[in-house]
Amino acid sequence: MNMLLSNKVAIITGGARGIGRATALRFAEEGCTPVIVDIRVDEAEETLKQIADRKGEGIFIQCDVSDSSQVKKMVDNVIGKYGKIDILVNNAAVSPPERPFIEITEEEWDRVMDVNLKAAFLCCKAVVPHMMEKKYGKIVNVASLGAIAPSKVIADYCVAKSGLVMLGQCLATNVAEYNICVNSVLPGITRTDFHDFIRPMEITKDEYFAKLDTTFFMK
């Protein structure tokens, strides 16, 4: 069977769960070797188990992608093991609690920017020189509908995701001549456990997502 990603190696940040896990599983089904990059060990191991159950292969590297030294070590490890990086998926993210703009603390702002925006910058900085040398690469930034649809209750998240889209556009103009393609995707409300820690416990998950679907953006 002809597979779309045969013999490709892909770094997927935040690949231990949610959209990252789904991406890793789909990539593996298409013949790719996913490198799960995350801080969550147990969930990453479960992702690898699900990949193996589908007769695929992948590895896990524990890494805080907001730390430049850890990112460099992670990328060096991947190149050392496989000799190449074909694909980078910048998916790692944190979602802040819902609150008005004036209640956002400096610490919360910095954390959201570090994981949702700076981390993608660091990963691109580490991976792109290798892709330029090979004259091949695919970079996918997983942004959000929040990049273009403002929210009263997660302004920092929306700003970071908007910045991620522009990061991709600016990078694309720099690397197109090296046969490196950069794109951003903007998922809407997605039913993953990404929302669990901010969901009010007095309502069910179904009630919470119904509320998000109708009122979350442009409140």
Active site (catalytic) residues: 157
The C-alpha atoms of residue 80 and residue 136 are separated, in whole angstroms, by 18
Cβ 39 vs Cβ 63: under 8 Å:
yes
CA distances from residue 72 to 7, 47, 93 in whole angstroms, order as listed: 23, 23, 19
Look up tokens 């929306």; give the residue: 158
Q: What is the largest CA-CA distance in the chain?
A: 55
Bridging pattern class, strands 59-62 and 87-90:
unpaired
Token couple for 218:
């442009």
Pair 56, 6: CB distance under 8 Å: no
Of 51, 28, 42, 11, whose CA–CA distance to 137 is shortest? 11
The token pair at 103 is 């209640």
What are the backbone angles phi and psi of residue 217, rounded to the nearest 5°?
A: -90, 150
Q: Is 170 exposed, middle or buried (0-12, 13-18, 19+ CB in 10 A)?
A: exposed
